[in-house]
Structure 1
Amino acid sequence: MTMIADVLLAAGALGAALYCYVLSRRLRRFTDLEKGVGGAVAVLSVQVDELTDILTKAQSAAKESVTQLDAVSARAEVAHKKLELSIAAMHDVPQPAEQSVAESPFFVRRAAEAEAK
């Protein structure tokens, strides 16, 4: 009876050793830096770093654009106020009397008409 228990104990130990060996090989392949999940994690880590840099640059560019747009908007508001004031001032200016076409300095007279005058 003791001998059977020893044989079963040895068989169990060999089975556990074989199981550990197979598990070790699978874990080694799983964490392999070129083909396994370790490689995927390494690639993703590099991509996250690159995306972080790109995002930082995009944020700084957006802040710069906002600053420029604020400056342009402020200039536009000042110009709008000046134009509004100029248009309001133009309502007070009297309208000039309309000239006839013949009195215009750009009117071209024919030679016969010029002699008649």
Structure 2
Amino acid sequence: MALIADILLIAGALGATLYCHVLARRLRRFNDLEKGMGGAIAVLSAQVDDMTRALHGAQSSARHSTDGLESLTGRAEEVARRLELLVAAMHDLPGEDLRAPAAAAPRPAPPAPPPAAPSAAMPADEGPMVLFRRRPAQEAAE
């Protein structure tokens, strides 16, 4: 009986040794830095470091862009306020009322110039007479 127990004990020890050897070989392949999981972990760790650096760069760039946009927005708001003041000031300027000529009495026609003599020639230093009139802002804008 003792002999059978010893044989079973030796067989169990040999089985455990074989099992440990197989596990050790699998663990070595699992931790291999080139082909196994260790290599994948090393690659992923390097990629995480690269992504962290890229993230910090993007954050600083976004912070810089935000500061620039805030300053431009402030300048635009200031210019908008100035334009509003200018437009409000233009309403206070004296000018022709567009509705006034229709409501007012008609103006008399200006006297006709005397007819020019057909034999009178125009002096060489004077060009043709050009008449200018001031148009209201509304009419000029159209």
Instruction: Flag the structure with higher helix content.
Output: 1
Query: What residue ranges of structure 2 are gaps of 5+ in the alignment?
Result: 98-129, 134-142
**Does 2:131 match 1:103?**
yes
Asked which structure has the greater CA Rg, the reply is: 2
Residue type of the partner of 2:51?
L
Q: For 1:67-104, what per-residue CA distance to the aligned partner results, in whole angstroms no more than 9, with x for missing partners?
A: 0000000000110100000000001112259xxxx512
Percent identity at matched positions?
Answer: 57
Q: CA RMSD in A?
A: 1.5
4+ residue runs over 4 A deviation: none
Counterpart residue number, 1:111: none
Query: What residue ranges of structure 1 are gaps of 5+ in the alignment?
Result: 106-117
Partner Cα separation in structure 2 for residue 91 and residue 7 of structure 1: 115
Counterpart residue number, 2:82: 82
Number of corresponding residues: 101
Counterpart residue number, 1:115: none
| TM-score, normalization by structure 2 | 0.68
The structure showing larger relative contact order (alpha-carbon pairs under 8 Å, at least 6 residues apart) is: 2
Partner Cα separation in structure 2 for residue 29 and residue 37 of structure 1: 8
